[in-house]
A and B are shown apart, each in its own frame.
Chain A
């Protein structure tokens, strides 16, 4: 199993600024992911965070907007850059371990 924590749990940011979200897993995992859940919507995969190489982004998401780091097998960060109100969402980190995908509690971001 895996227990995932995220920081911050929530934040209110001004447009044009950037926020870095941290994700910590309590065990070493190969596969880590970042998802976005817009208000009242389902989850959409942003990217796969690869250890030792660049993240792999899904269609509609780009590195300049959502840079991701994965320095080791237990930690990843997602930065939301040059924020606009449309970026207001819950951002979730997840990890695949033992045949199951575990999710962090999410970071609730509000952009004003």
Chain B
């Protein structure tokens, strides 16, 4: 069984500042890791994914994440945020059965 813990429920950040959203997972098998974004009243959009290979993953909109197997983490970062990055961010873990377990979500609010 897999589980995900997003360590920050809310992250306020000023425009053009960096942001990091923390995600830890637990799993007894090899994992696939994902970050999704959900803008207000919209569906889920994939930001990036780790399936295998390089542990530094680059995604859309300038986001990147690093898979750290020893620390069972998959933290999401962006060096400079925009107002439009205000959204809910979900970390998810999947295994060989392709089912996803989602974290509770992190609300990012970007202020001018």
- A43 with B49: CB separation less than 8 A: no
Which stretch of B10-18, B64-72, B74-82, B95-103 is in the interface?
B95-103
- A101 with B105: CB separation less than 8 A: no
- B102 with A92: CB separation less than 8 A: no
Q: CB < 8 Å: which of A41, A99, A101, A105 contacts B100?
A: A101
Chain B nearest CB from A42 CB (Å) reads 5
CB within 8 Å for A48 and B99 given contacts A42-B105, A43-B90: yes
Residue of A nearest to B51 (CB): A99
Chain A nearest CB from B82 CB (Å) reads 24
Give per-residue flags for A73-112: 1 if the beta carbon is below 8 A from chain B beta carbons, else 0: 0000000000000000000101010011111111000000
CB within 8 Å for A45 and B44 given contacts A99-B51, A101-B34: no
Chain B nearest CB from A54 CB (Å) reads 16
Give per-residue flags for B35-77: 1 if the beta carbon is below 8 A from chain A beta carbons, else 0: 0100000111010010100000000000000000000000000
CA distance A51 to B55 in the complex (A): 34
Chain B nearest CB from A93 CB (Å) reads 11
- A103 with B43: CB separation less than 8 A: yes
The SS class assigned to the B binding surface is strand
**Chain B, interface size: which category?**
20 to 34
- A101 with B98: CB separation less than 8 A: yes
Q: CB < 8 Å: which of B36, B99, B104 contacts A33?
A: B99
Candidate in A33, A42, A45 with the most chain B CB atoms within 10 angstroms: A42
- 12 A-B pairs in the complex with CB atoms less than 8 angstroms apart: A42-B90, A42-B104, A45-B101, A92-B44, A94-B100, A101-B34, A101-B100, A102-B46, A103-B36, A104-B43, A105-B42, A106-B43
- Taking beta carbons and an 8 Å cutoff, which residues of A are in contact with B? 31, 33, 41-45, 48, 92, 94, 96, 99-106
- What 5 A-B pairs come out closest when comparing CB atoms? A105-B43, A103-B44, A96-B98, A43-B102, A42-B102
Given contacts A48-B99, A94-B100, 14 further A-B contacts (CB under 8 A): A41-B105, A42-B102, A42-B105, A43-B44, A44-B102, A45-B100, A45-B101, A92-B43, A92-B44, A101-B34, A101-B94, A102-B46, A104-B43, A105-B42
